[in-house]
Chains A and B, each alone.
Chain A
Amino acid sequence: MIKLLHVEDDADIREIADMALSLSGEFDVVQCETGEAALAYVENYTPDVVLLDMMMPGMTGRQTLEKMREKPEFATVPAIFMTARAQHAEIDELLQIGAADVISKPFDPISLGDQIKEAMQKAGMTAAA
């Protein structure tokens, strides 16, 4: 099972993502409503992959990742962003700070799991290289 931490402030989107990721039965999903709650949760939990919404009240997805990266065990955990503002410049910026992928909203729930696994694979290859 792939341990996935999903940080998203919109409850409906959390539910849809949870259902979508449960389709393949390959993901063990933990969901947090805010960046702050996610940071508190990871004190005792290290996921295999983090799925972060960009725009959230309080800490943004980017700020949350930066805080997580301060923990040594998070140094190589692939992070995938979800954003409704999928513009070239923003995507490039997120990829440059180490994002494994950037998924645009609205996303396709059927292929979401595959998209995450693909990004993890790519990030793993990059880390190995």
Chain B
Amino acid sequence: MRPVYFKGDTAFSAALGCGLAAGWYGAASAVFPEAAGGIIPAAGAIGIAGFLPVVLGTRPFGQKAPEAARSHSNMLKQLQALDMHAGINMVSNEGILSEVNDHLLALTGYDRKELIGQHVKMLYDEVSQSQTCDIRNFLEQGSTWQGETHLRRKDGSTLVTQATIIPIFDKKGNWAGSISARTDVTETSKLQAERHSAQTLNELRDDIWIIDAQTEKFSYLNGSAKERLKLVNEEYLEKDLGDFNLASEIESVLKACRALRASGDVTTQFEAELVGTPMYVSIKYLPDPRGAGRYLIVSTDISHRLEQEQRKSAFISTVSHELRSPLTSIKGAMGLLLSGSAGELPDKALALLEIAHRNADRLILIINDILDMDKISNGQMEFDISDVDLVELLKEADRANAMLQQRFGVVVTLSGADKPVFLKTDPNRFIQVLTNLMSNAYKFSPPNGRIVLDIADAGEHVRVSVKDEGQGIPLAEQGKIFDRFADMTNSDRAAMGGTGLGLSICKAIVENLGGTIGFDTKEGVGTTFFFNLPKNEPASNAVDDVDVKRIA
């Protein structure tokens, strides 16, 4: 609140009268903001301004003795009322407290002897301590200061007061100190802050629901939420959530709330469709030691974002697929030439053709990786789970990569593959991960390097690993090895033909299959990449009954 200043009279009594009148007016205005025409604050102010000078011996001209006596009596009552209503203190010109009334002690929680003799700053909190210089400047000039001050109670809590501080002068007219009258407006201030918060919440574009965890009824809906649920006023407060027309959608959120509380977590987020609009729903459970607590649900309309993502995704998909048609011709033509079906070619021509053919393959790999990454980003990667023999898949991947093994001159051996290992997983995605780890191992192996493909029972998981004898992964790169394009930061690695997406795709696939991926590496010795797949069915991809997409 902006302070209001009055230029005071040099006569102490008149100044005190006017000052306290102003104090009363300000305080009463804060306490009775709705008072019609300001009658209550104004009446009090006029009374104090009129009577205080009288009691201090400055009777107005023309006033007779009996009238003065009545005035004196009334004025005392007024002062008594002020003393009961406001916290009053006097300080010296050095800021030392010399008088405090009982009301101020009650408001602040201090004893009189704890305050008298102390600097008035001890009563102010951090906010108001910075005001003291300002106030002092006004008082020194004979002006009265009026405004909001934040005091610190003995227990450390904040006491918001509406204060009027007037200067006191000695007989010679020198500034001697001040007297302050303060009204407690803490609750008013809190109510105002709450009202502002409520107005802000109501105006937010996001939907805000608060559900009582005990009764499972709405205790608050902001404007946007009410509009979406087609509700007016506060009719929703007493209604059971099952009675709303949109019960199933509300029920799905409520289920997520219950699950959150049961899990012991505090927050959860997911995407769900509410009243035909895709929303990002964020739930926070607010525990309450006196009850079951509340759920705070903030839902953001993400239809615009999804549209943009879909457009981007469609663009990537179209461009990628459009690239495949010319690549089909390029790769097909080179494949036929290499096979000799168009006649014998000189060795040098064949060698050049092989380079072109290999790079056409690399381009296809990049396109596939980009498409996969896009699907992962949109949560659209498909998984086709069936009961498969992982050992058979391991052998298939080994056979499919035979040409690559030859090209890099590596020796691959299988370990633990002497008996079938059945697991429910996606065979194509399993081979995709394995092929990626294998091709990395080939690329980073020395000539004649040994590579071991191992499959092992690891309790609740099956562990598949690819061990190479390469240079190992430098420490600086280890933390970001599964990040997108991590590979591309190293030009040597880029030259090896990586897209920089392979390992991040592997990680996403393995995690979607309910597993984990990692590596052990030692510089100069080699690296072992491994992934663990759960023996029970992968759960992460299953649709739960809440029908929401959980966000990592």
Query: Which residues of chain A have a CB within 8 Å of any CB of chain B?
Result: 10, 12-13, 16-17, 19-20, 23, 55, 84-85, 87-89, 92, 105-110
Contacts and interface: CB of A to CB of B under 8 A. Distances in A.
Interface string B303-329: 000000000000001000110111111
A85 B368 CA distance: 10
B321 A13 contact: no
Contact of B325 (A13, A17, A87, A109): A13
Given A23-B341, A87-B382, A88-B382, A109 B321 contact: no
Interface stretch (B212-220, B262-270, B332-340): B332-340
B260 interface: no
Given A88-B382, A110-B339, A12 B321 contact: no
A19 B336 contact: yes
Contacts of A20: 332, 336, 341
Nearest to B426: A88
A16 B328 contact: yes
A59 to B, nearest CB: 18
A84 to B, nearest CB: 4
B155 interface: no
Contacts of B328: 10, 13, 16, 84, 105-107
Nearest to B371: A87
Contacts of B330: 106
Contacts, number: 60
8 contacts: A16-B333, A20-B332, A20-B336, A84-B321, A84-B324, A92-B384, A105-B328, A109-B335
Contacts of B484: none
Given A19-B341, A109-B336, A88 B384 contact: yes
B429 to A, nearest CB: 10
B342 to A, nearest CB: 8
A13 B330 CA distance: 9
Given A16-B328, A85-B321, A106-B364, 17 more contacts: A13-B332, A16-B329, A16-B332, A20-B332, A20-B336, A20-B341, A23-B339, A23-B341, A84-B321, A87-B382, A88-B382, A89-B382, A92-B384, A105-B325, A105-B328, A106-B331, A109-B336
B212 to A, nearest CB: 43
Contacts of B333: 12, 16
Interface residues of B, number: 23
- Interface residues of B: mostly helix, strand, loop or mixed? helix
Contacts of B331: 106
Contact of A10 (B317, B329, B360, B364): B329
Nearest to A10: B325
Given A84-B321, A84-B324, A109 B332 contact: yes
B230 to A, nearest CB: 36
A87 B374 CA distance: 13
Contacts of A108: 335
Given A87-B382, A88-B382, A105 B324 contact: yes
B174 to A, nearest CB: 91
Nearest to B428: A88
B180 to A, nearest CB: 77
The residue in A23, A88, A108 that gathers the most chain B C-beta atoms within 10 A of its C-beta is: A88
A17 B328 CA distance: 10
Contacts of B326: 12
A25 to B, nearest CB: 12
A10 B328 CA distance: 10
Contacts of B332: 13, 16-17, 20, 106-107, 109
Nearest to B429: A88
Contacts of B324: 84, 105-106
Contacts of A85: 317, 321
8 smallest A-B Cβ distances: which pairs? Answer: A16-B332, A84-B324, A12-B329, A106-B328, A88-B382, A84-B321, A105-B328, A106-B331
Contacts of B384: 88, 92
A88 to B, nearest CB: 4
A107 B331 CA distance: 8
Contact of B336 (A13, A16, A87, A105): A16
B354 to A, nearest CB: 14
Contacts of A88: 382, 384, 428
A87 B382 CA distance: 8
Contacts of A92: 384
Contacts of B321: 55, 84-85
Nearest to A108: B335
Nearest to B384: A88
A84 B327 CA distance: 10
A94 to B, nearest CB: 14
A19 B342 CA distance: 9
A55 B328 CA distance: 14
A35 B336 CA distance: 27
Nearest to A92: B384
A84 B382 contact: no
A85 B319 CA distance: 11
Interface in B340-398: 341-342, 360, 364, 382, 384
Contacts of A17: 332
B336 A106 contact: no
Contacts of B317: 85
A110 B382 contact: no
A84 B339 CA distance: 24
A101 to B, nearest CB: 15
B428 to A, nearest CB: 8
Among B321, B326, B329, find the residue whose CB has the most chain A CB atoms closer than 10 A.
B329
A110 B335 contact: yes
Central interface residue in A23, A85, A107, A109, by most chain B CB within 10 Å: A109
A22 to B, nearest CB: 8
A108 B334 CA distance: 10
